[in-house]
Structure 1
Amino acid sequence: MAPDPDAIARCVLDTFDSLPDKRKPRPRSHGAREWVPLAGIVLSKGNRSLVCLRRYACLCP
């Protein structure tokens, strides 16, 4: 059985929330906030446990 999509989203958001502030968008001097796309890689262990990877390599030329 596939993991619940809401549980996957919750796993990614919880991992993002646990990151230090320096890794998150900041307010700019004129009050607008920075924004970034949010994506996550989630591994499913068996039928119950989800793990969101926090580190991944960039294979850029």
Structure 2
Amino acid sequence: MEYAGIGGLIVLALNIWAIISILSSSATTGAKVLWTLLVLVLPILGFIIWFLAGPKSGATTA
């Protein structure tokens, strides 16, 4: 079984989720561009940094 292939798919799915969340956030356009570039250039590290410190989704919960 290829664990690298499965790991790559997981990283890809997480990065797509991060980018969708970044683009739907209430952050400024410049911030969205910078966060998206960070996630694209540094896929694993960029995702972790975004997850910990990035802009949150525009949706609010009560």
TM-score (norm 1): 0.35
Structure possessing the higher relative contact order (Cα contacts under 8 Å, 6 or more residues apart) = 2
The structure whose Rg is larger is 1
More helix by share: 2
More strand by share: 1
